[in-house]
Every structure is written in structure tokens, then in C-alpha cells.
Homo-oligomer: A and B are copies of this chain.
Amino acid sequence: MTILEPGDTGHEHTPIPSHNDRILSVQSHVAFGYVGGKAAVFPLQCMGYDVDVVNTVNFSNHTGYGCFGGTKTNAEELIRIFDTMQQSGVLVADRLLTGYIPTAESLGSVRELVKKLKLSNPNLIYLLDPVLGDSGRLYVSADCVPVYRQMLPLATIITPNWFEVEVLTEVSLTDLVSLRAALRKLHDLYHVPNVVISSIPLTKLSASVPSYLLPMQPMDGSIHAEYLICIASSINDNGNLQGQPLSTVYAGCVRLIPGYFSGVGDLFSALLLGHYHTPQSNAPLSFSTSYPPLAHAASHSLSRTHAILTLTNEFASNLCLPSTDDELDTREPERKSRRMKGRELRIIQGQDVFRRQEWDGVAMMQEWEGFWNAV
């Protein structure tokens, strides 16, 4: 018979980019489906990253199923894992990704972890997704908010949604003027260098968005309801001096895919961190771009997340899932379960979206000229 000899690794043609950076992911785990770590870790592994994984909860499935259960990792347990990792010499991540952390105590232990990592590695790239809630509703305990505010100055990039920006900055967002006020607070008061808000209903800003950033569509305006706009704002080193704007803002639109999908934000944040490369960071050898690091990363993350969402939506549509109807769901719980299962992200089936470093499906975001002074 043929005998395998050392050297036959059988992957002469491996296209996986070699990422020397190591990522530590601290967020939720669910047994079934793709939210939290289950939505974030596999895509980063497909990109070639070694990912260390600490689970803040171990649940059966995401909360959208109505029924869910499992255990939360309390602050002492998290501290024990982080401390033991340090004693074992394996607390060596170059990048940190944090997501859903349900209590102020556990969040506090993560805050201390970040300080510890930054002491041993001042170049740590930290993407903080301040998971607080959505559309007016908190889904962590309220005392997490002040702890997140303490953590903002430690972050390299934050990815709040529209609601989370309002909660963190206490600015109610209605238009471009209030968005500027909120961004100024995040950049100036909390010293966050990079802010990405990924899914703002275009109608909230379209009145102020330069036409070259808008979708090429019959401009009756109505069409804007079918789009989301993503904003990536990077602070300028000498912002506000010599009349330089506080930050450089890039923007891009994607079509809104109707219906609720869980884990989209978790996937977006993971890809954003995975595609963020500065001259100081370990980019793949083949990597090159003329784009600023945040705009490059946000463009790739936005396009690749959208591709997975599209794939998921096509799959869900073909299943002819039961419509949302609380009354029918209550009478027949299996209805809701079928709908939820059918809308789980198709990250396994779409994994090539993550693996190709170059992909012509990426729509590059454009600079929003005059963001800070337009009327």
C-alpha cells in the first residue's frame, strides 16, 4: 500500500493567507446556530487566524427562539480563565474581539483583561462591540453602560449600532447634526480612534448624504427606504488643528434585506477586525491597499457580510417559512422554531466568501467629503 511520509502535507496549493496575528474572542456561545462566537470565530479561522475563544455564556440557542437556556460564565470564572491563560503563557493575542457580556461584573473582568493585554502589548488591536441592545431595548443589565464608557478609551475600533451610539453618548440621533455631535463625543471625550456604525437606515441621513454616495436609483427618494448606510469614521491625528476636520468619514450603502437575522453584527465586527491592517500590524504578505485601514476593513466586512446575508435570505425564501405571527406561534411553537432555524446565517455554506483575500464582490466605500461642515 502507499505509505504517507512526512512532507506529504497535501496542500501545496493552499490559498490561505498566513496571518501571524492571533485573535482572542470573548463573547457568547450557543450550541445551535450562528450568533456571538459561533458567527465570529469560524470566518476568522477561514481567513487564516488562530482564534482563542472564551465563552461568556454557554446557551442552547439564541434568544429569538423564545425558549433558551444554559449557563453564564460569572466574573470569577472569567478571571480564573484569563489568569490561568497568563500563567500558562498563552495569553498572547495580538488582537482582541469582545461582544456580548451580560453583567457589569463580568464586563469589569474583561475591562481588566484589556488593560493587562495592553500592558504586555501596546500595539494590541482591540475591537470593542458594545453590545447593549437594539431598537430602543437593552438586552444587558443597565449597569453595563457606565462600564462600557470606561472601556471606550481602551478600544482601537468600536462597532455600536444606532441605538448603542445613543445610549453611550446620550445624544438622541435624528439627523446628520446629532450624528456629528455623537461622533465628536466618541472621538473627543472617549478618545475612540475608529468608529463604525454599520446599518443606519438611509432615510435618517439621505437628505444630507452627497449624491455620489447614494445608490444609483431613480431619485424619487422612496427608494432610500430600501437601503442602509454604513459610516466609518477615523480620527485625524491633528484633528481640529489648522482647520482639519476631527475625523475622516467613509460611507457606503447596501440594500436592506427585509426580516430579522441574528448574528449579523457579530459577523460584521469579526470581519472588520480580520480585515483591519495598519503599517504596524501583521498584514498577510500579499496584502496591499491604497485605502485607509478602517475604510478598507469596513468595505470588506460590509460586502462580505452582505453576501452571507443574501445567501441566507435566498435559502430562507426557498423554504417558504411561516410568517411572523405571535398568535399562531403561541398556538404552534414549532412554527417559530422553523422560521428561526431557516434564518440562521449560512456561514458554513458561504465560507468561500471569507477565504478569498481578493474578491471582486467587494464594493469600496467612498469618502464623505465635508461630513463635518456640510449643512
Listed in ascending order, the chain A residues whose CB lies under 8 Å from chain B are 1-11, 13-16, 18, 24, 29, 31-33, 38, 42, 45-46, 48-50, 52-55, 58-61, 65-71, 73, 77, 80-81, 83-85, 87-90, 92, 212-213, 215-216, 227, 252-255, 257, 303-304, 306-308, 310-311, 313-314, 333-334, 337-338, 341, 348-353, 356, 359-361, 363-366
Contact = CB atoms under 8 A, between A and B. Distances in A.
The oligomer's copy count stands at 2
10 contacts: A4-B255, A4-B361, A14-B350, A16-B351, A24-B31, A29-B55, A48-B348, A65-B89, A68-B88, A70-B80
Contacts of A14: 349-352
Contacts of A10: 303-304, 307, 353, 356, 359-361
Contacts of A73: 58, 71
Contact of A6 (B54, B313, B337): B313
Contacts of A60: 81, 84-85, 88, 90
Contacts of A18: 349
A350 B11 contact: yes
Top 7 closest pairs, chain A to chain B, by CB: A10-B361, A89-B337, A69-B84, A60-B84, A32-B90, A2-B363, A11-B352
A88 B31 CA distance: 12
Nearest to A217: B3
Nearest to A254: B4
A316 B8 CA distance: 16
Contacts of A13: 352
A60 B77 CA distance: 11
A99 B53 CA distance: 19
B363 A4 contact: yes
Contacts of A16: 348-349, 351-352
A5 B349 contact: no
Given A53-B38, A352-B16, A88 B32 contact: yes
B348 A1 contact: no
Given A6-B314, A9-B311, A58 B58 contact: yes
Contact of A334 (B89, B213, B349): B89
Contacts of A254: 3-4
A71 B78 CA distance: 10
Contacts of A5: 255
Contacts of A88: 32, 60-61, 65-68, 337
Nearest to A313: B6
Contacts of A334: 89
B70 A90 contact: no
A351 B53 CA distance: 18
